Amino acid sequence: MLNILKERFGYDSFRMGQREIIEDVLNGRNCVAMLPTGGGKSLCYQLPGYILNGSVLITSPLISLMEDQVQQLRNRGEKRVVALNRFLSYREKRDVLRELASYRFIYASPEILQSPLLIEALTRINISLFVVDEAHCISQWGHDFRPDFLKLGLLRQTLGNPPCLALTATATRQVIADIVTTLKLDDAKQHIYPLDRPNICLYVQYVQTVEEKIKALKQLVATLPKPGIVYVASRQWAETLAEVLREDHRVSYYHGGMDGEQRLLIQQQFVYDQLDVICCTNAFGMGVDKSNVRFVIHFHLPTQPEAYWQEVGRAGRDGNESIAILLHASGDEQMGQLMIDMEFPTKEQIVYALDALRHGRKEMGLTDVQQRLLLYWLEQMNMQEDIHTLANQLYAHIEQRKQEKIKKWVFMQRWINEQTCRRRTMLSYFEQQPLLNERCCDRCGADIYVNAPVKHIQQIHLRPWQEELCSMFAIKVRTND
């Protein structure tokens, strides 16, 4: 293990928890592992991949995350790695399926893993380890807008129940139980490590209006060491704030409404220090390998503590001092409640959608996300029931999910207003205690000052395309003289 750690990954020793997790994986045990953001979760399956006989199948929630992991492995000289996603052409996918057994690491989304052709190809090869990366998405996304996460346990059974490693950076006991149940993990060994990131100061800045919030954001971005991330609640706000900040900084926006290639380009520009700030929805950040993020600013209050802590954890992965600032204005509470209400269909919408299904109408009156979930829920139910009985059963399920989300939203509002230590209160949600920290939070007397080394990045000046082309082909540039 130590030889491979040094030769393949360039490390002399393991980080907290890695060795114990890897030893259990090599012994064929099912594991659920929770390590803090930046704690080196990917090593826990990548290193065993060089010892186990067979292929490691990694289920990953985002294309950008898959591509990032694949690129990192290739940079280390690994050629037997592939990501199955829409960037592959039909011919490339056909060739990959034909040679699937030759790959050491196979990355795929939960959705593509429902493909009958891929499932058939996977059953013909030796899967030595089944990995679910960002496993909290099973509970956080599977029940709400990506139901294929909930089918991963059945898929694992179809593949012969290979040993499973579920990895996450943020999960409550309830979420861990959901992961274990969904993946059908018998006698799973749980490796739960502290989530606290003592190098990140937590700060809430109160303002009265949205205009004051924008003004405060501009001042913070101008003052704080960069790079940094600004999280917002909607696509429109991501674009608006990027435009506001672009006059003085290298800024772009990122959200789920952009096409995949656009998002990948923006992510790479941020990773390689070509952008100072990125304004984004929660679609950005998961698995982004950037260690020197100095600040995370929340322009809107996240509706769930899990989302807040995951996003905060994208700062300071290099261990240097960083800060997470939440800008809060009166009236923000209404936005969170509205977002929760918009996620779920009303009872009338459910009845209309069921009637459309029964009569073969394509228009169901639901968003794409609501429609996918409705169809998944119907798979689990008796479709012979009359429409109103089905609608009542579905609405009861929706109300249960909605109340769970409202409970989390109430916690976040209480967290904003409580006078006690912010870190202690937030970690209590995950049933953990804070680590020793000198610059804890604003309730404990910390200020916004960040005393971290700032990497000054030279502004990139682009030459005219004619000069760039001549330079590429070593052609002397002609002048008018």
The domains of the chain are located at 1-192, 202-335
CA dist., res. 233 & res. 388, Å (int): 35
**Least confident range of 23-37, 206-220, 453-467:** 453-467
Instruction: Say what the pTM is.
Output: 0.81
Tokens of 334: 């209404």
| Phi-psi group of 360: left, alpha or beta (phi > 0 → left; psi -120 to 50 → alpha; rest → beta) | left
Looking at residue 384, what is its pLDDT?
62
Which pLDDT value is given to residue 456? 38
Most confident region among 72-76, 104-108, 334-338, 472-476 by mean pLDDT: 104-108
Q: What is the CA radius of gyration of the chain?
A: 24
Greatest Cα-to-Cα distance within the chain, rounded to the nearest angstrom: 86
Contact yes or no for 335/300 (Cβ under 8 A): yes
The span from the CA of 23 to the CA of 370, in Å, is 42
Amino acid letter, residue 46: Q
Alpha-carbon distance 356 to 131, whole Å? 39
Residue 378 has pLDDT above 80, yes or no: no
Q: What is the pLDDT of residue 358?
A: 82
Please tell me which of 185-189, 296-300, 372-376, 398-402 the model is most confident about, judged by mean pLDDT: 296-300
CA–CA distances in Å: residue 45 to residues 56, 69, 308? 8, 12, 26
Same topology between domain 1-192 and domain 202-335: yes
With cut-offs at 50, 70 and 90, classify the pLDDT of residue 244. Answer: very high
Specify which of 50-54, 59-63, 167-171, 177-181 reaches the highest per-range mean pLDDT.
50-54
Residue range 97-107, pLDDT digits in tens: 999 999 999 99
Report which of residues 255 and 343 the model is more confident about.
Answer: 255
Rounded to whole angstroms, how far apart are CA atoms 314 and 86?
27
Average pLDDT, the chain: 86
| Cross-sheet strand order for the sheet of 200-207 | 200-207, 322-329, 295-298, 228-231, 277-280, 251-254
pLDDT cut 70: percent of the chain above it: 90
Q: Is 38 left (phi over 0), alpha (psi -120 to 50) or beta?
A: left
Q: Which of 60-64, 208-212, 277-281, 302-306 has the lowest mean pLDDT?
A: 60-64
For 251, other C-beta atoms within 10 Å of its C-beta total 20
71-75, 302-306, 447-451, 461-465: segment of lowest average pLDDT: 461-465
pLDDT tier for residue 17 given thresholds of 50, 70 and 90: very high
Q: Which architecture, in CATH terms, is 1-192?
A: 3-Layer(aba) Sandwich (3.40)
Dihedral through CA 239, CA 252, CA 141, CA 195, nearest 10? -130
Q: How many CB atoms lie within 10 A of CB 433?
A: 11
pLDDT for 367: 79
Q: Is the pLDDT at 344 greater than 60, yes or no?
A: yes
pLDDT band at 18 (very low <50, low <70, confident <90, very high): very high
Tokens of 415: 């967290």
Q: Is the pLDDT of residue 398 over 50?
A: yes
Size of the chain, expressed as the number of residues it contains: 481
Question: Quick one: pLDDT at residue 107?
Answer: 94
- 476: region left, alpha or beta (phi > 0 left; psi from -120 to 50 alpha): beta
Phi, psi at residue 81, to the nearest 5°?
-140, 145
Q: What is the pLDDT of residue 459?
A: 39
Tokens 């950037």 belong to residue: 290
pLDDT band at 395 (very low <50, low <70, confident <90, very high): confident
What are the phi and psi torsion angles at 223 (to 5°)?
-95, -40
Among 165, 170, 175, smallest CA distance to 193 is for: 170
Q: For the residues 110-119, what does the mean pLDDT come to?
A: 89
Q: How confident is the model at residue 71 (pLDDT cuts 50, 70, 90)?
A: confident
Q: Phi/psi of residue 144, each to 5°?
A: -115, -45
Does the pLDDT of residue 37 top 90, yes or no? no
- Could you report the per-residue pLDDT of 399-449, keeping only the tens digit for each? 888 898 899 999 999 999 999 999 999 999 999 999 878 889 999 999 887
Percent of the chain at pLDDT exceeding 90: 50
- Mean pLDDT computed over 58-79: 84
Is the separation of the CB atoms in 298 and 311 below 8 Å? yes
Cα gap 145→283, rounded to integer Å: 13
Give the homologous superfamily in CATH for domain 202-335. Answer: P-loop containing nucleotide triphosphate hydrolases (3.40.50.300)
Sign for the pseudo-dihedral over CA of 381, 385, 391, 395: negative
